[in-house]
């Protein structure tokens, strides 16, 4: 049986299932960009986590920087607007990446994803903190 027929029948039985199964692959250039988020995330997160002012509160339950960065990368890769912007031929993508609009969006999206994930991890540590 052809795989498309399987998706067709799955769609009849369970439309949410078929949307999860038929997701298009992410654009290669977006995947490459997301790989650059890790080092930036590590640097930004470490800046706060290693700060001596925060150490007493984080000593017993340290923040997991790898978890923060994986979370941040996941947010970048699930951004529908970025997927759309990166789903073009290389020449068009190069033109878009030179634009200040996409560059600004990438910078703010990366920063906000890091802080969003940092916030979640820090709050987990703070909930376990004992005075």
Residue ranges covered by each domain of the chain? 25-128
Q: What is the mean pLDDT of residues 92-104?
A: 93
The string of DSSP letters for 74-113 reads HHHHT-HHHHHHHSS-HHHHHHHHHSHHHHHHHHHHHHHH
pLDDT tens column, 7-39:
443 444 444 433 444 467 899 999 999 999 999
pLDDT tens column, 102-119:
999 999 999 999 999 999
Q: Is the pLDDT of residue 75 over 90?
A: yes
**Contact at 8 Å (CB) between 26 and 83?**
yes
In the predicted model, what is the mean pLDDT of the chain? 86
């Amino acid at each position: 049986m052809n795989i498309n027929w399987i998706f067709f029948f799955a769609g009849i039985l369970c439309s949410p299932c078929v949307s999860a199964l038929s997701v298009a692959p992410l654009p290669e250039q977006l995947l490459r960009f997301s790989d650059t988020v890790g080092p930036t995330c590590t640097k930004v997160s470490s800046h706060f986590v290693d700060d001596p002012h925060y150490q007493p509160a984080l000593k017993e339950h340290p923040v997991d920087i790898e978890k923060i960065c994986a979370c941040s990368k996941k947010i970048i890769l699930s951004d529908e607007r970025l997927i759309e912007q990166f789903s073009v031929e290389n020449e068009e993508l190069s033109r878009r990446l030179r634009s200040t609009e996409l560059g600004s969006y990438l910078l703010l999206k990366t920063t906000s994803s890091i802080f969003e994930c940092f916030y979640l991890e820090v709050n987990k540590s703070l909930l376990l903190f004992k005075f």
